[in-house]
DNA sequence: CACTCAATTGTGAGCGCTAACAATGCTGCC
DNA sequence: GGCAGCATTGTTAGCGCTCACAATTGAGTG
């Protein structure tokens, strides 16, 4: 810990103190096999005494690796992406990687390419993309970053790894729950159709209905926000075409609940509502929301598993799917 | 763009193509003054032709700067911290810095010191701390990172810069609004008292009440979660001591609203409720929530202003305060 | 006892860049 | 015309590390 020279200690200083060459110290730090036990202990003692820490810049200059993962994200203020980031960060740091982030303010091909370049300037060892728009994959296909890329929320492709929650399965869970309760007219308040999840949930809803021999003609599209859920809710309260609604996310469901409450439509007596995500607040809506839970942190962790496989192995990049889970609360019941 | 050798181009390659020395190229990249117009243009053309990008590792090896800001955060899944991060990221990237993050899973002196070390390994040029616990500042005082540190949510101290929203002022805004409407018994559902904001809002509430000649004896402490708001709401619904409640954040207010609804306590007719934060959903609660808005992104941006001042100037580190704003909706009215 | 072979340790070069200094060319001025 | 003084460009060294290879040691073998 004592630092007489005012300069940070380097390999050479440790070597001198331990009475070995700098190369031997390097071997100790990097866990190379051929170092005798005694030497290793002497070196480790010297490292501890000087409080030596390896200079990352020098290391990455020669190895051409930065021990850094770049996370390219949009919508970071949202529950899902934020928790995915948390999962990625945890797994990355556990694996000895730094995590660099860049938030996309607008999602466009240009912005994505720009940010990838930003990361390449930093010589990241891999890029995790948390941008749930469909066009992301297209933009990614265009750039050849030369490092592994894993896209969250997609199955990826030959060049890009993927980690996703099975959205169609989640939609199916929600619809089946409603069908089981006796509903026959089940509508869907979808997310924007340029979002991967927006499309997947709508498809899942549609497929599950058709599998049950029911019509899938009651579809409205929102923008994920509580505000759009509110607007749609006002409209739907007037029509009353469906006895149950599968809503694309919990926030829209919140707005919808608010609109129904204002309009005197009772949930679940008049209309049943199922959300998607299971945010921490969803159990405290009025009424508490039946919804589909996604484990975002797990998603982030899996994402890093794939990434590490891609970095270390170098072989073709993988894919993983996380299963969603239905959480039944009080916003659903049998139709009147 | 053509890359014949398979290796990334470096300074030397650009120099050769432009017919100058590598040092001149370096000067062009770094915007040094004494380069003739013609040379500069020739070099820039060569850079464009080769698609040259500076090697960050080599640069930071010699300059001892990484152009990276470390963000040490906890509770990143929450609305406030997430948006603060967004503001920091934007300002940092605009200023040409990379942003490295580390999330704290548990807040403790040890964990904070550990993470600071993690950042020092990376040779960050500055550290932004988004950890709203009171003990954070204490832990930070202990470590001498050798780089500027800015703590969000505090005024900092001699060694640590600060950027905060004026919490006491926000609490005052809320209380004054209730007093103006005629309330005389105004309770507070506080956040945890080991959080800076939890304490500051409670103090602000207390001070504003006493300034109005009212009692500040109705205080309950929650943990920020909707669940704790719900539990407290059930208890309060039975007591009915206050005609108005200032709740520490919007999530607890949501839980409280839920409990009141279940218990048949009408808001605002029976009890008025004010929240804090103004999350995007708060306008869609039942009823829409009167609350105090904090501009977290602005907070993050200001934070980086101070940071940049500390890095470039090197002089004593600054402080900034962002003003909160009252947003009146439908959860408050005159007492019955 | 000389020789091979493996285990361990050391030596030298160089990753790509910037800082410090040296060299060059050009202007103006006495 | 010669020389100071500035603008511009080049040269050299070295940041701290890892890699490739060389050197040394010691054990095992015929």
Q: What is the pLDDT of residues A84-102, one digit of tens each?
A: 999 999 999 999 899 999 9
Whether the pLDDT of residue B289 is over 50: the answer is: yes
Chain B residue with the nearest C-alpha to that of A122: B56
Question: What is the secondary structure of B64-106 as a DSSP string?
Answer: S--SEEEEEES-TTSHHHHHHHHHHHHHHHHTT-EEEEEE-SS
State whether residue A225 sits within 8 Å of chain B by CB.
yes
**Cβ of residue A94 closer than 8 Å to a chain B Cβ:** no
Distance B36 CA to C27 C1' (A): 16
CB nearest to A101's CB, from B53, B89, B121: B89
Calculate the angstrom distance between C1' of D19 and CA of A308: 24
pLDDT tens digits for A161-206?
Answer: 889 999 999 999 999 999 999 999 999 999 999 999 999 999 999 9
- pLDDT band at B2; cut points 50, 70, 90: very low
DSSP string, A190-202: E--TTBHHHHHHH
Which of B130-160 are b and which e, b meaning 16 or more Cβ less than 10 Å from the residue's Cβ?
Answer: bbbbbebbebbeebebebbbbbbbbebeeeb
b/e map of B239-267 (b: 16 or more CB within 10 Å)? eeebbbbbbbbbbbbbbbbbbbbeeebeb
State the Cα–Cα distance between residues B152 and A154, nearest whole angstrom.
35
Cis-peptide into A291, omega within 30 deg: no
Sorted by sequence, the CB contacts under 8 Å of residue A63 that are 6+ apart come out as none
Angle in degrees, CA A121, A124, A125, rounded to 5: 145
- Protein-to-nucleotide distance from the CA of B45 to the C1' of D8, whole angstroms: 19
DSSP designation for B63: H
Distance of CA B223 to the CA centre of its chain: 19
- Length of chain A, in residues: 336
The C-alpha atoms of residue A154 and residue A167 are separated, in whole angstroms, by 10
Which nucleotide does the CA of B21 lie closest to, via C1'? Answer: D10
The distance (Å) linking the CA of A335 with the C1' of D25 is 87
**Quick check: A276 pLDDT over 90?**
yes
The residue with tokens 């990687």 is A97
Q: Which nucleotides of C are covered by protein (CB under 7 A)?
A: 7-12, 14-20
Which residues in chain B (34-63) have CB-CB distances under 8 A to chain A? 53-58, 60-61
B61 touches strand D (CB under 7 A): yes
Assess whether A33 (CB) lies less than 7 A from strand C: yes
User: Does A2 score more than 60 pLDDT?
Assistant: no
Helix (H) or strand (E) holding B34: none
Residue A155 pLDDT level (bands cut at 50, 70, 90)? confident
Residues 131-170 of A with CB under 7 A from strand D: none
In this structure, are strands A272-274 and A244-247 parallel, antiparallel, or unpaired? parallel
Provide the pLDDT confidence category of residue B123 given band limits of 50, 70 and 90. confident
Structure tokens at A296: 């975002």
Burial of A187 (0-12, 13-18, 19+ CB in 10 A): buried
Measured N-to-C along each axis, helices B135-142 and B109-121 cross at an angle, to the nearest 10 degrees, of: 50
Cα gap A136→A121, rounded to integer Å:
20
CA distance B310 to B125: 10
In sequence order, the 6+-apart residues with CB closer than 8 A to the CB of B303 are B84, B87, B88, B91, B128, B150, B152, B163, B320
Least CA distance to B120: which residue of chain A?
Answer: A53
- Nucleotide C6's nearest residue (CA vs C1') is A34
3 state SS of A187? strand
The integer distance in angstroms from the CA atom of B42 to the C1' atom of D1 is 36
Residue A62 CB in 7 A reach of strand C = yes
B246 beta partners: B188, B274
Q: What is the pLDDT of residues A194-217, one digit of tens each?
A: 999 999 999 999 999 999 999 999
Q: What is the pLDDT of residue A316?
A: 60
Of A336 and A48, the structure prediction assigns the larger pLDDT to A48
Please state the pTM of the whole predicted model.
0.89
Determine how many CB atoms are found less than 10 A away from the CB of residue B186: 24
**pLDDT value for B6:** 63
- Straight-line distance from CA A59 to C1' D27, in Å? 36
Give mean pLDDT, residues B69-93. 92
- In this complex, the answer to whether residue B20 has its CB under 7 A from any atom of chain D, a nucleic strand, is yes
Give B42 CA → D7 C1' in Å: 18
Listed in order, strand segments (DSSP E) in chain B are 68-73, 98-103, 126-130, 149-152, 160-165, 186-190, 219-221, 244-247, 272-274, 291-293, 319-322, 325-327
- Residues of chain B with Cβ-Cβ distance to A255 below 8 Å are 284
pLDDT in tens, A223-272: 999 999 999 999 999 999 999 999 999 999 999 999 999 999 999 999 99
Nearest to B57 among A61, A102, A226 (CB): A61
Mutation choice for A interface testing from B3, B54, B98, B247 by most A CBs within 10 A: B98
B21 beta carbon to strand D: under 7 Å: yes
Q: Say how far residue B272 (Cα) sits from the centre of its chain.
A: 29
Distance between CA atoms of residues A328 and A152, nearest Å:
27
**Residues in chain A within 8 Å Cβ distance of B227:** 283-284
Does residue B280 belong to the interface with chain A, where contact is any CB pair within 8 Å? yes
Q: List the one residue out of B290, B171, B157, B163 whose CA is nearest residue B219.
A: B171
Nearest CA among B5, B143, B128 for reference residue B68: B128
Q: First CA to last CA across chain A, in angstroms? A: 74
The verdict on a CB contact (< 8 Å) between A102 and B82 is no
Which nucleotide across the nucleic acid strands is nearest to A62, CA versus C1'? C15
Tell me which residue has tokens 């579809």.
Answer: A219
- C-alpha to C-alpha distance for B115 and A124, rounded to whole angstroms: 20
Residue A292 near residue A277, CB atoms below 8 Å: yes
Q: What is the DSSP letter of B311?
A: I
Residue nearest to nucleotide D16 (CA to C1'): A58
3-state secondary structure of B195: strand
Element (H, E) at A67: none
pLDDT band at A3 (very low <50, low <70, confident <90, very high): very low
Strand C reaches within 7 A of the B61 CB: yes
> In terms of C-beta density within 10 A (0-12 exposed, 13-18 middle, 19 or more buried), how is residue A113 classed?
middle
How confident is the model over B212-261, as pLDDT tens digits?
999 999 999 999 999 999 999 999 999 999 999 999 999 999 999 999 99
Angstrom distance (rounded) from CA B181 to CA B332:
8
Angle, vertex CA A63, rays to CA A58 and CA A65, nearest 5: 95
Q: Does A18 touch chain B (CB under 8 A)?
A: no
CB of B121 under 7 A from strand D? no
In B, minimum Cα distance to A63 occurs at B57
- The token duo for A24 is 């031997």
Report if CB B31 to strand D is under 7 Å: no
Secondary structure letter of residue B7 according to DSSP: S
Asked if B258 has any chain A CB less than 8 Å from its own CB, the reply is: yes
Tens of pLDDT along A14-70?
A: 888 888 889 998 999 988 888 888 888 888 998 999 989 999 999 999 999 889 999
Enumerate residues 6+ apart whose C-beta is below 8 A from A174: A205, A246, A274, A276, A292, A326
Cα(A282)–Cα(B226) distance, integer angstroms: 9
Q: Which residues of chain A are within 8 Å of residue B7 when distances are taken between CB atoms?
A: none
* CA gap B319, A315 in Å, rounded: 50
Question: Residue B99 and residue A101: Cβ atoms within 8 Å?
Answer: yes
Q: How far is CA B36 from CA A319, B22, B53, in A?
A: 53, 15, 22
In this predicted structure, the answer to whether residue B315 has a pLDDT above a threshold of 80 is no
A76, B98: Cβ pair inside 8 Å? Answer: no
Nucleotide nearest to B13 (CA to C1'): C16
Whether nucleic acid strand C comes within 7 Å of the CB of B26, the answer is yes
Interface contact B284-A226, CB threshold 8 A: yes
Please report the pLDDT score of residue A315 as a whole number. 59
Beta strands in chain A (DSSP E): 68-74, 98-104, 126-130, 149-152, 160-165, 186-190, 219-221, 244-247, 272-274, 291-293, 319-322, 325-327
Looking at the complex, report in whole angstroms how far the Cα of residue A214 sits from the nearest Cα belonging to chain B.
32
């Amino acid at each position: 810990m004592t630092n007489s020279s005012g300069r940070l200690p380097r390999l050479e200083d440790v070597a001198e103190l331990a009475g070995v060459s700098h190369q031997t110290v390097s071997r100790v730090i990097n866990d190379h096999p051929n170092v005798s036990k005694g030497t290793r202990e002497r070196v480790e003692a010297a490292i501890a005494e000087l409080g030596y820490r390896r200079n990352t810049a020098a290391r990455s200059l020669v190895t051409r690796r930065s021990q850094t993962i770049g996370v390219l994200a949009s919508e970071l203020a949202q529950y899902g992406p934020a928790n995915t980031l948390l999962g990625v960060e945890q797994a990355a740091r556990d694996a000895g990687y730094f995590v660099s982030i860049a938030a996309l303010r607008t999602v466009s091909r240009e912005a994505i390419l720009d940010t990838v370049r930003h990361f390449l300037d930093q010589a990241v060892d891999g890029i995790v993309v948390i941008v749930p728009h469909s066009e992301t994959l297209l933009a990614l296909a265009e750039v050849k970053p030369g490092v592994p890329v894993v896209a969250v929320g997609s199955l990826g492709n030959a060049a890009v790894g993927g980690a996703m929650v099975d959205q169609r399965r989640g939609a199916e869970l929600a619809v089946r729950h409603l069908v089981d309760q006796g509903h026959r007219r089940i509508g869907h308040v979808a997310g924007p159709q340029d979002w991967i999840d927006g499309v997947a949930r709508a498809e899942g809803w549609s497929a599950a209905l058709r599998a049950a021999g029911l019509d899938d003609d009651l579809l409205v599209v929102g923008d994920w926000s509580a505000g759009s859920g509110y607007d749609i809710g006002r409209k739907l309260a007037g029509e009353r075409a469906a006895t149950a609604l599968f809503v694309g996310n919990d926030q829209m469901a919140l707005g919808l609940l608010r609109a129904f409450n204002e309009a005197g439509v009772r949930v679940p007596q008049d209309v049943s509502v199922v959300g998607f995500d299971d945010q921490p607040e969803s159990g405290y809506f009025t009424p508490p929301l039946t919804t589909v839970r996604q484990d975002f942190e797990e998603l982030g962790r899996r994402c890093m598993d794939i990434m590490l496989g891609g970095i270390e192995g170098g072989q073709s990049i993988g894919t993983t799917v996380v299963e969603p889970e239905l959480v039944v609360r009080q916003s659903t019941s049998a139709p009147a």
